[in-house]
Amino acid sequence: MDFTQIGEVLEGEPKYRLAQAKRGIFVDLVEDWEQVTAFPKALRARLAVDFPLPIEAQTFGDTKMTAVKALIRLSDGKRIETVLMRHTDGRNTVCVSSQVGCPMACAFCATGKMSLLRSLSASEIVLQVLFFARLLKPEGERVSGVVFMGMGEPFANYDNALAAVRMLNDHDGLNIGARHISISTCGILEGIRRFTSEALQVNLAISLHAPDDKTRRELMPVARTHTVLELLAVVDEYIAQTKRKVMFEYLMIGGKNDADEQAHALAKLMQGKLCMVNLIAYNSTGVFVPATRERMVFFKTVLEQAGVPVTVRFRHGREVKGACGQLLTKEDAYVLPSDVTDAASV
Amino acid sequence: MIPSEDTIYRLDHVTRESPEVLTLSFAPEAGELMQFHAGQYVYVDMIERPKRLPSRPYSISSSPSDAFVSVSVKKLGAFSGALHELTPGSRVILRGPAGNFIPQPSMKKLVFIAGGIGIAPFLSILKGFVGRNAQDQEVLLFYSNKRREDIVFFGELQGITQALRGVRIVYCLTQQEEKADEAGEYRRFDGSMLKQYCSKFGMQDYFLCGSVPFVTETSQVLEHAGVLCQRIHAELFY
């Protein structure tokens, strides 16, 4: 389903048909053109062939249905994973993938172990949200937020990721508020610079995962292209220009990045910055082990004492294998997105 | 810092470097050629394609003093395949320059390690040295390819070693049968090679460019040999 093609498919029809079609897809969330009764029968039949609406996907829910994973099959047969997180406060957040696979090869991430197969189009990113919007509709619920934390590096697919943001934000479409959309990057500096210049209120998240260059380079190949201080200088420029708070994600890995001195170094880096730190419990892949709860509490305490806003993410979605690129599906040995967890205080 | 901007360029000419690699040389449709530092990259946006592909970054392989901005593209996927189909006169947007893969003038002893088409920014940097007649610049370039036929810019690189007495090139072929009458290494860059070539040379700053696995592995070799991570500068092709 390529949403940019709908205008072409409707060529020759009255102009208002385009608005009706968009309303059908994104507002009424129809899954069959027969439900768009404003359209003549012949047009519905033609659209069913030229612009079919079904999304081919398998879903996996946890026992409490607080997290639902979907494996969506794309038109070329490739599969992507996307996760719906249902929060207790009523928010429904979709974690989207921006690429099939990922080129960045972070050591802790199973998605990184498969190389990049291809980048997703803007429509393929939006499709993931549309799928869950349809799923929630019978309950009278809607998707309230989107996080780009799934498979792939959004800033390695910058144009399409930003085009998807604009489609998601479209008032005549899914109408997801920019402030409820977050893009997470492993630290592509030029991407952050371009993002700074966008007139958008979308949130920026940075996968930091270590306060020192040595550890960060061991965990993330991209960290070999810049130092932590260079990364933070670019983020500071973003904060200065946009006045928006930045989230720093810190995956807590036992014996790797959870030492006392690393907590203090992290606090020193973050102090005084318009930011919050998200400490994320790591799901073991066999390569690394999770930090203990005590270490996470220690980090939280050190950061709080330094006046740095901090949250700790409890695992969310583990039953649906919705964790940080560590999830192998049984089919195709495909791997899942970012750590799909819930933000909550310890 | 040179400001980054979007400018329309036209493809002036294409040079075939190997069966898989083309160098595309662009000139601005109007106004001046962009200013950049050797080692930087640009985003290429093919605006004339009926189905627009998202822009992609490419290292500049020309020198800042050249009359064109050139990128050298290996045919790997949809985007590079489409770039290979461009014909002279095609319009593109070049957005940039970007990147900090730039040797500083104070760095007089440099080791460059290129994997495959990762040679592109090094060619730009070396041509810049030739343009400045930087005879006091010491450079040791390890240029790694699978096979002999994958080497690009061989003639230009040899010309550079003749123009600058401080530039030396070690060709590393990782999947090629050894030929007794040819200089070079028939293995991957490793710790022993580093020791063999660099220890007497007193090299101080290391620049690495290539695929993510190449840069990661090479960087680890350097770190294990005790090179400080502040001395290792990398550019990733992804």
Tell me the CATH number at B208. 3.40.50.80
pLDDT score of B182 more than 70: no
By C-alpha distance, the chain B residue nearest A227 is B230
Enclosing H/E stretch for B6 = strand B5-16
Same structural domain, B91 and B113: no
Whether residue B104 lies inside any domain: the answer is: no
pLDDT per position as a tens digit, A62-100? 766 688 999 999 999 999 999 999 988 889 999 999 999
Same structural domain, B37 and B125: no
Domain ranges of chain A: 1-54, 57-344
User: What distance in Å separates residue B183's CA from the closest CA in chain A?
Assistant: 31
pLDDT score of A149 more than 60: yes
Same structural domain, B33 and B92: yes
Distance CA A130, CA B115 (A): 41
3-state class (DSSP) for residue B28: strand
Enclosing H/E stretch for B16 = strand B5-16
**Any idea what the Cα angle at residue A15 is, between residues A14 and A20, rounded to 5°?**
95
Taking the mean position of all CA atoms in its chain, how far away is CA A209?
Answer: 17
Number of Cα atoms under 13 Å in the Cβ half of residue B171: 21
Asked if residue A251 lies in contact with residue A285, where contact means CB atoms within 8 angstroms, the answer is no
Name the residue among A103, A118, A190 with its Cβ closest to that of B98: A190
pLDDT per position as a tens digit, A159-199? 999 999 999 999 999 999 999 999 999 999 999 999 999 98
The total number of structural domains that make up chain B: 2
CATH of range A57-344; options 3.40.50.150, 3.20.20.70, 3.90.105.20, 3.40.50.2300? 3.20.20.70
Where residue A337 falls among pLDDT bands split at 50, 70, 90? very low
Cα dihedral angle (A14, A20, A25, A31), rounded to 10 degrees? -90
By C-alpha distance, the chain A residue nearest B3 is A193
CB contact under 8 A, B215 and A104: no
In the numeric block, the tokens 């070693």 are attached to: B161
Distance CA A231, CA A209 (A): 13
Asked if residue B92 lies in contact with residue B121, where contact means CB atoms within 8 angstroms, the answer is no
Structural tokens at position B88: 């002279």
Name the residue among A160, A190, A221 with its Cβ closest to that of B215: A221
Residues in chain B closer than 8 A to A227 (CB atoms): 230
Across the A/B interface, how many CB contacts are shorter than 8 Å?
50
Same structural domain, B126 and B225: yes
Name the residue among B54, B230, B238 with its Cβ closest to that of A158: B54
Whether residue B151 lies inside any domain: the answer is: yes
Residues in chain B closer than 8 A to A190 (CB atoms): 57, 98-99
CATH of range A1-54; options 1.10.150, 3.30.70, 3.30.420, 1.10.260? 1.10.150
Whether residue B103 lies inside any domain: the answer is: no
Containing domain of residue B42, as a range?
A: 5-98
Residues in chain A closer than 8 A to B55 (CB atoms): 158-159
pLDDT score of B74 more than 70: yes
Picking from B55, B24, B233, B20, the residue whose alpha carbon sits closest to that of residue B146 is B20
ipTM of the complex: 0.87
Asked if residue A244 lies in contact with residue A277, where contact means CB atoms within 8 angstroms, the answer is no
Enclosing H/E stretch for B170 = strand B167-173
Name the residue among A156, A193, A213 with its Cβ closest to that of B229: A213
How far, in Å, are A56, A78, A121 from residue B51 at the CA level?
Answer: 24, 20, 11
Same structural domain, B116 and B89: no
Tell me the CATH number at B20. 2.40.30.10
Same structural domain, B73 and B137: no
pLDDT score of B196 more than 90: no
Distance CA A46, CA A43 (A): 5
User: What distance in Å separates residue A139's CA from the closest CA in chain B?
Assistant: 37
What integer pLDDT is reported at residue A1 of this predicted model?
85
Same structural domain, B71 and B121: no
Residue positions of A annotated with a catalytic role:
81, 324
Among A4, A186, A190, the strongest candidate for a mutation testing the B interface, having the largest count of B CBs within 10 A, is A190
β strands within chain A, DSSP E: 57-61, 67-73, 79-86, 92-95, 99-100, 118-119, 145-148, 181-185, 203-207, 246-252, 275-281, 310-315, 341-344
B174 versus A212: which is more confidently predicted?
A212
Neighbours of A59 (CB within 10 A): 15
End position of a domain, from candidates B69, B98, B127:
B98
